[in-house]
Amino acid sequence: MAEAHEAVAFSFSVGHEGFNVDVSYDVFKALFYAGYRSWKLRCRRTLNSLYNSLYPGHPSRGIACCGVVAGLYFKGYDPSFHIIDWLESNIFRRYLQPRNGKILACIVFGGGGYILFIQLRQYTLKKLFSYHGWMYQEHGKNIGLVPKIWSVLVKLCVGRNPSLFSCQNFLPSLPLPSLDETLRRYLRSVRPLYDDNEYQRMEKLAEEFKQTIGRKLQRYLWLKWIISTNYVSDWWEKFIYLRGRSPIMVNSNFYGLDAIYIRPTTIQTARAANLTCAAFRYRTELDHENIKPLMIQKFVPLCSSQYERQFNTVRIPGKETDKIIHYADSHHVAVYHKGRWYKVFMFYKDNLLQPCELQLQLDEIIRDTTPPNYGEEHLAALTAGERPLWAEARETYFSSGVNRYSLEAIEKAAFVLILDDEDFEIGTSMTGKLDDYACAILHGKAYNRWFDKSFNFIVSRNAVFGFNVEHSWADAPITGHLAEYVLSEDIMNYGYDALGNTCGTPRFTALKPIKLKWNIPESCNLMIEKSLVQATKVYNDVDLHIYVQDSYGKGFMKKHRLSPDAYIQMSLQLAHYRDSGHFNLTYEASMTRLFRDGRTETVRSCSIESSHWVKAMEDPTVSKVERIKLLRAACDHHQLQYRDAMSGKGIDRHLFCLYVVSKYLNLDSPFLHQVLQEPWKLSTSQTATTYDDKRLTKLMSQKPDLAEKMALDRLKNIAAAGGGFGPTPASYEDRYPQFNRKKKGIKAGGGFGPVAADGYGVSYIITSEDLIFFHISSNKSSAETDSKRFGQRIQQAMQDMRELLESESKSASSSKNEKKISTVVPSTDQPA
């Protein structure tokens, strides 16, 4: 196994015979190619910046414009109305010959005119994208005149083939809602939570706030809105994420799981190599900006700024606040296995390693029997415990020497790869093993994940994949995009041989993995163990359960003309009311990426309409017709809230920023204090499919049985080769009985820890027409919560809602049949 000194380019020693110099030419070459690659990357980014600044135009069109202007001018047609002559005579004549001056004047006029034209298009698009009336159009109904005109104008102005960051210049700023409107929406949202006396108290506090300091705070916030691209995002990152002093494990980081219907191999290093190489290919696509920005309705772009810090990023602890460091480039990954940390280079002579070449390095790590250095095995527990403790340890023991070098190898890595020493089980069966797998990805053992890195790829001993993500730098859809890409590349591009190893033949022998060295004194190890005790207490309290809803899904919901997301939110309201006995403040995350640097906004799912429907469901005297009417009203109101949140009319981010301003001005507000202290007893989020890979979509939609055949053929080849790992084809089919169904999605989603100590965190993903995963978290220490019990509540709520809507269908069908009979069968009091 290579040691750290192998990464040193040269060393010398002094002896009796003079100087002795040892030179590592391989490392010199590696450094040369690393510098060469970084130079190419900087050039690429410069060209991309030029392209993006001219989008929706193109530099080639600007050059063509200059050529047309020059051609017309020298043909005797002056398109500049003598501006070119003025430029040549007053500016360029003193430096150039008359003809050359005229050519340069033509270029300046043509280029300047083209830039002004592009600026006008960008300004027009920014104004057009500030309109969100199209979002409020009901599905299935005729589109109004204004949205039609708007869509035509957008299509005329927007360019073709945008790169990832091309649309950033004409995304509008997040609008600042009026104070009166936010207070009105807030009071309406909390009406179901309070009795009459408490609600009147909140009304009084809100009115007092508006009449005293509210207007002043709004004016200060308006100034911030004027000078910033987004008046929320920087404060949200700083105060919600980076200022938090509690452990980020469970409390902030979130997780994602593997695909559920495809198990391409059970060899750990092969799967890890494919996924890691796929991630680096994705990073290359990001660096080159070849990935297209996500679009709504195929022409409304979403903000792409969060992609910038996906790789080469780390959260650095501080005593009072953390900070995010993003490195321009990285040529390696940090790998953890059985208590040891390694640095693995991903490039050789400016070439990205192939999976078969990377697997050799990972195999060498697996075979390594070197024991961990003192304190190394539990070192990552520092990132899982209290932040001030980690900040103190980092400043004291990791600011110089070998510890600094090794820590930088982890922090400057593209990401962290964990080769776990446990087996994970995944499928659609609600077993304890599935819950254990989710817990392992969320928190592991607290010391075998580096929670400060932007993300950790985790591969189990039996090659099941998962990822853990630090939340401050971006939101879940960004990492979901990456996960879908690498999973599709793993299956559709790289693949595996008959034995489950990576395909291909190594082209060369790359640099060996470098085992990182540590010099951990006893005092530092005590801090590591103290942090581990803190983290262990946190994760031992986690009650995580995955409920799989497979009796029906979004197909049934859409059949009854209900939004799947609104439908699921109503089921959660009914389930939570039955679980707790009263209504609670409910958080659903909505995105604001229609605006520049936008992140999220809150949708308050517990509303007047939803509470009326829930009460009706629990009241046996209310008819089914009335319940259905109330359900549709609740779903419609929830959709309206969601659209308002997406279009910048949310409640909570505005109130949060007003609270921050009040703290800067040292002004106390009982109203804002009450608002910010209200606990989110139910925190929810939908995991959406954000990346539409054409090959994977084609595979799953046109050839639904091909994925099954790939997996079963792989297992047959393993059995024929005498492999002793993985289930047999028969047992695979038994384990996943739904494998043969036609699926458009294969992700199991992911989840997060509970927000409130006595509340639930629920993340759900609508995987297919008849499959939904609910990731439910709570705290074992709370007597009010139980994740498995809440999963049963959700199951019962979904069943009750299905029976309710089926009764409507049966009633409509019966009425239709009666009407048909009455029109066909003649009346008995008339002659036949």
DSSP three-state, residue 683: strand
| Burial of residue 291, with CB atoms counted within 10 A of its CB: 0-12 exposed, 13-18 middle, 19 or more buried | middle
Residues sharing a CB contact under 8 Å with residue 614, sequence separation 6 or more, in sequence order: 573, 574, 577, 583
Whole-Å CA distances, 125 to 81, 213, 698? 29, 37, 33
Question: What's the CA gap between 263 and 463, in Å, rounded?
Answer: 8
Query: Nearest CA to 461 among 419, 493, 491, 489?
Result: 419
| Burial of residue 506, with CB atoms counted within 10 A of its CB: 0-12 exposed, 13-18 middle, 19 or more buried | middle
Q: Are 451 and 384 in contact (CB under 8 A)?
A: yes
Cis peptide before 56 (omega within 30 of 0): yes
Question: What's the CA gap between 461 and 508, in Å, rounded?
Answer: 27
Q: Which residues in 195-204 are b (16+ Cβ under 10 Å) and which e?
A: eeeeeeebee
Distance between start and end Cα atoms, the chain: 99
| Token couple for 624 | 């089914």
| Token couple for 119 | 């600026």
Query: Nearest CA to 241 among 540, 467, 478, 452?
Result: 452
193 DSSP 8-state letter = G
What residue has token string 């990357």?
41
Question: What's the CA gap between 363 and 826, in Å, rounded?
Answer: 83
**Residue 204 host element (H or E):** helix 196-209
Query: Nearest CA to 718 among 329, 267, 411, 281?
Result: 267
Please, which residues bridge with residue 344 across strands?
A: 333
Question: What's the CA gap between 328 and 402, in Å, rounded?
Answer: 23
Pinpoint the alpha helices (H) of 130-175. 145-157
**Looking at this protein, which amino acid is placed at residue 744?**
K
CA atoms lying within 13 Å on the CB side of residue 390: 29
Mutual orientation of helices 694-702 and 706-720 as an angle, nearest 10°?
90
Pinpoint the alpha helices (H) of 454-602. 476-489, 522-540, 554-559, 564-580
**Catalytically active residues, by annotation:** 471
